[in-house]
Every structure is written in C-alpha cells, then in structure tokens.
Amino acid sequence: MFNMAEKSSSKFDILGLLSFGFFLVLLGAIFALTPGLPNKIIDFVRDFHRTEVYSGVIFFAPSSKHPVIYNAAFQFCLVFAIFQVVVLVARFAIRDSIGRKAETLSGIVFWFGAAAALNSLIFASLDWFVFLGWLIVLIGLAIVIRSAVAFAFWGKG
C-alpha cells in the first residue's frame, strides 16, 4: 500500500540526483552564457525600494525593469521544466514510486508556470506584485497536484 509519508527510501533516487546535477549545470550555463549576469543581479537587488501595495501595506519592488535578469530566469525555468518532463518519462519507464512521479509532475507545473509568468514580466504585461502572486499560486498548485496524485493512487501501489 502506498504511504504518502514514505519517500521510497528503500531505493536510491538516481533520477533525483540527476535532476539536482542538471539544476547546477543549467544554473552555471545561464551564468556563463549571460554576459555580466552577476553585476545585473547586484543591480537588481539594489533597485528594490519600498512600495505601497495597498493602503497601509508596504512591500519591496524593483524601481525599474530588469529584462536581462527576467530573461535569464525565464530560460532557466523553461529548460528545467523540459528536463523535468524527461525525468517524469524516465520515472514511468523504471516504474518509480507514485510519490516520486507526483513530485516530478508538480515540479513540471511549477517550472512551466514560472516560465510563463516570467515571460509576461519580460514583456511588461505583468506587474511585479502580480508576478509574485502568480508564484504563490504556482507553489500552492504544485502542492495540490502532488497531494491529489498521491491521494488518487493511495492504496493502489
């Protein structure tokens, strides 16, 4: 029987390790292929200022657009999402646990969603605070998807 708390610790998660390694390689590649990215990140962080979101509610937002940062993050999210699709196919091929498949599926939703939100941020069709709201929605959606898939197969594995 499938236990939602169980992480399939009985066997080593080679695909999880592969995914983490790809995450690091991709992060390094984004830094290597985006000229001046470290300085642009510093500029981005320094550009944050206090903004009144609603009456009496203050939060931080960048003063200006940072398309290089947004584009680098978009590229990272898109490529990592595509890689997660490959990982999910591999999880089915090796008949991995439902928990790991659900985790990978929820990751796919998050990374593709983050790429879509960043794409909208790049083309200025999305406000910074709406972007942050979408990230919160995506985190919640990823949690719901993982839980729903695990619950749907509870007792069937």
Please say whether the beta carbons of 115 and 131 come within 8 A. no
Report yes or no on 9 lying in a domain: no
Report yes or no on 128 lying in a domain: yes
Report yes or no on 99 lying in a domain: yes
In tens digits, the chain (157 residues) has pLDDT values of: 344 444 444 578 899 999 999 999 999 999 999 999 999 999 999 999 999 888 889 999 999 999 999 999 999 999 999 999 999 999 999 999 898 999 999 999 999 999 999 999 999 788 899 999 999 999 999 999 999 998 888 766 5
Report yes or no on 58 lying in a domain: yes
Please give the tally of structural domains in the chain. 1
Alpha-carbon gap, residue 68 to 129, rounded angstroms? 19
Query: Which domain covers residue 42, as residue numbers?
Result: 14-152
DSSP bridge pairs for 143: none
> Cα-flanking dihedrals φ and ψ of residue 53, to 5°?
-80, -50
Report yes or no on 1 lying in a domain: no
Report yes or no on 89 lying in a domain: yes
Report yes or no on 5 lying in a domain: no
Report yes or no on 55 lying in a domain: yes
